[in-house]
Amino acid sequence: MEKRRFAAGILTAAAALSLSGCGGMFDTEYVVTNDYVPAAQTNAGPADAVSVSTFSQLKRAILDLVSRGETEGRLTFDQAYEGDITADMASACWEVRTQDALCAYCVENIAYDLTQIVTYYEATVYISYSDRVPAPEEIVHMQYTTGVGDVIKSAVEQGQSRLAVLISRSSTSAAGMEQLVSRTYRENPGIAPREPAASVNLFSGTGTQRLYEINLSYGMSAQERLSRKEEMDELDPFVQLDTAGLGQAEKALAACEYLTGSCAYDGEGQYNDIYSALIRGQSGSEGMALAYVDLCGRLGLDCQIIYGQRDWQDSCWNLVQVDGDYYHVDPSMCAENGLEGAFLLRDEDMWGSYRWDTAAYPACQGELRYWNMAGQTSARED
C-alpha cells in the first residue's frame, strides 16, 4: 500500500530561500517522498534512468539534464549510495540552482519525486526554464575565453540580437566582455554596417565559471541591416587592380586612394560608420578609418583603428603595418588635404596635432614616406 508523506523540513527550508536567476525563481521546491513496495521486487533501476552512487554524481546528473534542456529525468540511487539520500536530493537541487551559472541563467525551478523501492531509491526530476532566455542547447559552451572573439564575430555577422556563452574558466567581467565585442567589431568592421551596441549580463557559478548574456543592438531593423550588409558584400573595390604584383606599401596606398577618391570627409559627423564611407560616399573620421581597416584587410594588410584626438577634437585614424613597420594613416585628412601630409607617417610626425594612448598601440618608426612611393610610381610611368 502506497504511503505519501511530505518532507516538511525540506519544504520549510526551500520556502525560506531567495534564489536569484534570470526570469526569477519560484520560492518553493515541491518535494514528495514515497515509500513503495512492489509486488515483484528488483535490485535494478529502470533502463532509462541514470544511476548515481555519490553526491557529486547526483549533482552532475541533474546538471546534465539542464545542459541538454530536458524538462524531466529519472535517477536511481545505487544500493551502496554514500550519504543521506533524502537530504542529498534537496541539497543537490539547491546547489545546482544557486551555484551553477547555466542554471542561474535559465532555470526557474527544480522539483522532484523521491520513491523508495525496497532496496534502492528512484527519483524523478522536473525542471522548468525561463521563456525569456535561449534554450539550453543554444548556449555556447567553452572551456576558456580563447576563441570567444570568433563566436562574437559570427554572431554579429549573422545579425544575432542575443548570444549566451558559458565559459568554465574565465575572469572577464561584464564590462570586459562589452569591450571585447567592440574590439572584435573594430578589427572586422565589414561584418556589420554599423558597430552594434553591446550590453552584457553576467552570471557566476562556482570557481571561475561564468555565463555571459550578450545583447546586441544594431540601431536599425533586421531587414535594413541585411540589405546594407548585402550592399557591402557586393562591393568589389579592387576588381581592376592587379594586387598580385603589388608590394605591401603599394597595397596600402591603393586602399587609401580608393577610399579618398570615393568618400568625402564629413566633419560634422552626420554619417560616421563603415556603410556611409563605402556605400554613401560620405563619412566622419571613424567611418573612414573603419572602412580603411576593411579595405586593407581585403588586400591582406594588418590595419587597426586608433581612437584619439586631432586638434583637441575626438578623431580616428589608422595604423597600418608595411613590411614589418607600422605607420599612421589618416584617411579623413588625406581626403581633405591630400595624401602627402597624412599617409605613412611616424609617431614624431604626428606630435603637435594628434594625441593618442601611445601605450595601447605599436610605435611607428618606419622609413617609408608618400613622396618616396610617388617618386617610384612616376619613374615606372616614365
| pLDDT value at residue 136 | 79
Q: How far apart are CA 25 and CA 344, in angstroms?
A: 58
Q: Please name each of the domains of the chain with its CATH number.
A: 3-129 (no CATH), 139-223 (3.30.110), 236-381 (3.10.620)
Residue 297 has pLDDT above 60, yes or no: yes
Q: For residues 33 and 278, which has the higher predicted lDDT (pLDDT)?
A: 278
Q: Which of 121, 97, 94, 123 is nearest to 108 (CA)?
A: 97
164-191 pLDDT tens trace = 999 999 999 999 999 999 999 999 999 9
Q: Which of 4, 48, 49, 69 is nearest to 30 (CA)?
A: 4
Residue 11 has pLDDT above 70, yes or no: no
Quote the mean pLDDT of the chain.
86
- Give per-residue burial for 178-197: e unless 16+ CB within 10 Å, then b: bebbeebbbebbbbbbbbbe
User: To which H or E segment does residue 60 belong?
Assistant: helix 55-67
114-146 pLDDT tens trace = 998 888 899 999 999 998 888 878 899 999 999
- Give the whole-number percent of the chain exceeding pLDDT 70: 85
User: If phi over 0 gives left and psi between -120 and 50 gives alpha, with beta otherwise, what is residue 344?
Assistant: left
Q: How far apart are CA 332 and CA 342, in angstroms?
A: 9
